[in-house]
Chains A and B, each alone.
Chain A
Amino acid sequence: MSNHRNNDCNTVCNTVCNKDWKKIAHANGLAIPDAALEPIARTLDALAADFRPLARALPPETEPAIAFHAALHAASEDAE
């Protein structure tokens, strides 16, 4: 990944990592007490910081597997 792209990712990350989890919980109707939100907020921020750059680096043609198969070459075999 180029430095330019890393910088882009960091910018995105900084904007998405500072989420107000309390507001998000209320907006989504999640009945999670505020006291329970504090300890998980740090974990969610850290996970987002790790995950966002990976997701942004995905080539657009990469599709998810509809049903996961451990061996790609076994997928057609299993479908028979």
Chain B
Amino acid sequence: MTLLEAAAALRRREISSAELTAAALQRIERLNPSTNAMQTVMAESARERARRADEELARGEGRGPLHGIPIAVKDLFRTKGVRTTGGSKLFEDYVPDYDATVVEWLREGGAVLIGKTGMHELAYGITSSNPHFGAVRNPWDRDRIPGGSSGGSGAAVAAGMVSMAMGSDTGGSIRIPAAFCGVVGLKPTYGRVTRFGAMPLAFTLDHMGPLTRSVRDAAAVLNCIAGYDAGDETSSRRPVENYVPDVEPSIRGLRIGFPENFYFERLDPDVDAAVRAAFNAAASRGAEIVPLRVPDIAAINTVARVILLAEASALMEPHLERRDQFGADVLALLDQGRFLPATDYINAQRLRRAMQCEFARLWSHVDCLFTPTTPVTAPRIGETTVSVGSETEDVRLAATRLVRAINPLGLPAVSIPCGTDRRSLPIGLQIVGPPFAEALILRVAQALVPAEVPVPPL
């Protein structure tokens, strides 16, 4: 059941929040041992919130579509009185005394927070094979990674534990698990959703957004969490729209960019075929497919890596003498960042501005852009390289290759399921739009995906 279907059933009194919450807790109890999607389960407080939600709904005090719906958040969103680890041993006993603004706004919308999802250590990686809290496993094949860093959120939603889990995205960390787990993942425009109270990885690249079982669910969540927050000086004062698209929206006449360079190089053939089929599906609904050359994405990826390495290492510098507290992959990245001179960081931010201007010119030719989300489907746990055609590529670089550049550009992007490969693993389509065009990319996404994503055999 999607979030909006559950909300409709609650309004019709066909089901109660207490029943929804009990069902979610049962499913977590059954499936978490094999997926490790949920790091902390808040059963007692969730039951109490659900009871209160039912009372409010009975009094006619509905707070919106999230009221009474069980949800989860990645374990880097601070939760008052509930441990928040950021996937790190450093913070294994950290209990915040306040909620992240996103958590606060979700609670105000009536959502029932049922737990915190597992993640890659410090959100600094894409496998979610966490050395301190265990590997999160992909519900489609438990020998495979769910992607990351929001791997627990992707796995929890795919497994049907919750209909929505919040994630964060610094270089693809919402969109990669969405693609690998076959769910919808929305990275809004930088500034559209406040970062306040979420443990940072890289201040100028971090974005917060939902993973859901339908496009309309992601939009409904965005309606709740978008908006200005004084706690985050980069949050935008731009008015919040209604982002929820019609059930069957029109995309007739929309210009969809088909990148002739970069994005279709070095792809698994099944991914290539599925994404090309998405273009055909859009064309059959009246959209105009516009072939075009995109700016140098490899260069933007390089700039993004410099910014990420520098910002993440600056943040973690006070902890880096405690080397035994870090997993090997994260420690290697943090060490690399310490070698970057300040001039590189400044120049990366200058290049970012230049590239942002260059990319902005694209939007006079097209309304949005389709690309694959990842060049391959979910790799096996423990694999450090993947084969793409005749080439071998580092897993992390391959998984982030098509999504990373969107973070320094700050553009909104959504990953939606667009078929499966020869092993029945999900494939993701990335739809990228101009700044603050969330409503547009969600409308296009809704036109292309089924009302609810497929459920893995569990």
- A residues at B contact (CB < 8 Å): 21, 24-25, 28, 30-32, 36-37, 39-40, 43-44, 47, 50-51, 54-55, 58-59, 62-65, 67-72, 74, 77-78, 80
Answer whether A54 and B410 are a contact pair too, CB < 8 Å, given A68-B190, A70-B191, A74-B436: no
Check B302 against A47 for contact (C-beta < 8 Å): yes
Which of B191, B323, B409 has most A Cβ within 10 Å? Answer: B191
Residues A71 and B350 in contact in the complex (CB < 8 Å), given A40-B335, A50-B302, A51-B344: no
List 7 other contacts, CB 8 Å, given A21-B339, A68-B352: A40-B332, A47-B336, A58-B350, A67-B233, A69-B234, A71-B436, A77-B236
Which of B393-448 touch A at CB < 8 Å? Answer: 409-411, 434-436
Is A69 a contact partner of B410 (Cβ separation < 8 A)? yes
The distance from the CB of B395 to the nearest CB of chain A, in whole angstroms, is 14
Q: Taking chain B's interface residues, is the majority helix, strand, or loop, or is none over half, making it mixed? A: helix
Cβ-based interface call for B9 (8 A): no
**Given A43-B336, A80-B237; A62-B354 close (CB under 8 Å):** yes
| Interface pair A54/B299, CB less than 8 Å apart | yes
**Given A31-B321, A40-B335, does the pair A77, B410 have CB atoms closer than 8 Å?**
no
Q: When chains A and B are docked, how far (Å) is the Cα of A37 from the Cα of B299?
A: 25
Q: How far apart are the CA atoms of A39 and B426 in the complex, in Å?
A: 33
CB distance from A76 to the nearest CB of B (A): 11
Q: How far is the CA of A30 from the CA of B338 in the complex (A)?
A: 8
**Nearest A-chain residue to B353, judged by Cβ:** A65
Is B136 engaged at the interface, CB distance under 8 Å to the other chain?
no
Contact A72 B190 (CB under 8 A): no
A-B contact pairs, 5 of them (CB 8 A): A28-B338, A40-B339, A44-B336, A50-B302, A64-B353
Q: Are B238 and A77 in contact (CB under 8 A)?
A: yes
Residue B325, interface by CB 8 Å:
no
**Which residues does chain B contribute within 8 Å of A44, judged by CB atoms?**
336, 339
Q: Which residues of A contact B299 (CB under 8 A)?
A: 50, 54
User: Given A37, A64, A67, A77, which contacts B350 in the complex, CB threshold below 8 Å?
Assistant: A64
* Of the residues B191, B302, B356, B435, contact of A54 by C-beta under 8 Å: B302
- Return the chain B residue nearest A55 by Cβ: B347
Are B349 and A65 in touch, CB under 8 angstroms? yes
| Complex-state Cα separation, A71 to B353, whole angstroms | 11
The one of A43, A47, A58, A70 that contacts B189, using a Cβ cutoff of 8 Å: A70
Q: What residues of chain A lie closer than 8 Å to B348, measured between beta carbons?
A: 51, 55
CB neighbours (8 Å) of A50 from chain B are 298-299, 302
A4–B348 Cα distance when bound, in Å, is 23
Residues 295-317 of chain B, each 1 if its beta carbon lies under 8 Å from chain A, else 0: 00011001101100100000000
User: Provided the pairs A32-B338, A47-B305, A58-B351 are in contact, do residues A68 and B234 lie with their beta carbons within 8 angstroms?
Assistant: yes
Q: Mark B72-99, 1 if CB is under 8 A from A, else 0.
A: 0000000000000000000000000000
Indicate if B346 sits at the interface (CB-CB under 8 A).
Answer: yes
Q: Are A70 and B338 in contact (CB under 8 A)?
A: no
A65 CB, nearest partner CB in chain B, Å = 5
Which residue of B298, B302, B332, B410 is within 8 Å of A68 (Cβ)?
A: B410
Instruction: Report, nearest first, the 6 A-B pairs whose CB atoms are least far apart.
Output: A70-B410, A71-B435, A64-B349, A55-B347, A70-B190, A70-B435
Give CA–CA (A71, B412) in the complex, Å. 11
Given A55-B344, A78-B237, A47-B306 contact (CB < 8 Å): yes
